């Protein structure tokens, strides 16, 4: 008998509570440069220069957090830009969450002891759940789970592979092990400026009862306001990439929009 709930029958395990809505400027690193990919495609890359300079720019505009991804690490299955990422955290006094190729407790500890506030585990949630359980037990809320989905199914290995597991199923299992925060990315939206998948983000928050940070597709200040309006459902923040890099709006404008200024 299969006791695992299907995606259609999943129910919230508890009611989310309102949280502060936080904005996370994204810094994706490949080959030592700050880049943006279209829908996670490594062949559709735009280079924006030094990650350290970009971090300084976002901090100057008021960033309280930075969302940093080691794209080389995600593809290789082990960190590749860790020295640069640790330099970002040390140089700018900003709170950083980082993901990309983190597959062992030693790598988690390397980042957390080096000044990173939160470590994001993604592929391991599917391929090595026992490691993720151990990390959650050891470090609690400093472990964030990245759920990157294509058509509702979680993708792994830097989005190069798709799994047969729905995001809500993974979330429910990991909440039972202590997960408190998820980052949800609809890959079809990422880098497209086509608007976030608000429905799927809210569904994940309500199903899991955890905080969910929205990622992918944010194209306007109204998108941010729409997400913030779902804070009581558990949507706790948004990661902003291409809209900032293409100057659709500034980080200052984004912060003002969600603060109601």
pLDDT for the residue numbered 222 = 96
Give 10-residue mean pLDDT values along the chain (261 residues): 41 49 97 87 89 97 97 93 96 93 97 97 88 97 92 68 78 96 86 85 95 94 96 96 95 94 46
Give me the pLDDT at residue 7, please: 39
pLDDT value for 13:
40
Residue 231's contacts (CB-CB under 8 Å, 6 or more residues apart) are: 18, 19, 21
pLDDT at 150: 82
**b/e string for 9-48 if b means 16 or more Cβ within 10 A?**
ebeeeeebeeeebbbbbbbbbbeebbbbbebbebeebeeb
The yes-or-no answer on residue 72 being catalytic is no
Q: Is 87 annotated in the active site?
A: no
May I ask the CATH class of domain 66-242?
alpha beta
The catalytically annotated residue of 70, 72, 148, 190 is 148
- Model pLDDT, residue 187: 81
Q: Where are the domains of the chain?
A: 66-242
| 208-9-152-223 Cα dihedral, nearest 10 degrees | -60
């Amino acid at each position: 008998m299969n006791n695992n709930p299907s995606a259609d029958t999943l129910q919230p395990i508890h009611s989310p509570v309102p949280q502060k809505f936080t904005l996370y400027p994204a810094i994706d690193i490949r080959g030592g440069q700050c880049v943006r990919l279209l829908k996670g495609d490594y062949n559709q890359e735009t280079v924006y220069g030094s990650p350290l300079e970009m971090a300084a720019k976002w901090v100057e505009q008021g960033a309280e957090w930075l969302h940093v991804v080691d794209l080389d690490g995600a593809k290789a299955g082990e960190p590749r830009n860790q020295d640069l990422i640790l330099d970002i955290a040390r140089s700018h006094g900003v709170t950083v969450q980082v993901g990309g190729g983190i597959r062992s407790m030693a790598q988690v500890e390397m980042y957390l002891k080096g000044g990173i506030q939160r470590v994001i585990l993604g592929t391991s949630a599917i391929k090595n759940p026992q490691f993720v359980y151990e990390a959650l037990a050891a470090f609690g809320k400093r472990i964030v789970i990245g759920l990157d989905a294509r058509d509702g199914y979680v993708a792994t290995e830097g989005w190069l592979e798709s799994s047969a597991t729905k995001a809500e199923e993974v979330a429910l299992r990991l909440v039972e092990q202590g997960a408190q925060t998820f980052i949800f990315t609809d890959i079809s939206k990422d880098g497209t400026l086509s608007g976030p998948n608000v429905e799927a983000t809210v569904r994940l928050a309500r199903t899991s009862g955890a905080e969910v940070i929205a990622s992918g597709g944010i194209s306007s200040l109204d998108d941010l306001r729409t997400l913030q309006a779902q804070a009581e459902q558990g949507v706790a923040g948004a990661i902003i990439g291409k809209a900032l890099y293409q100057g659709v709006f500034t980080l200052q404008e984004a912060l003002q929009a969600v603060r109601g200024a």
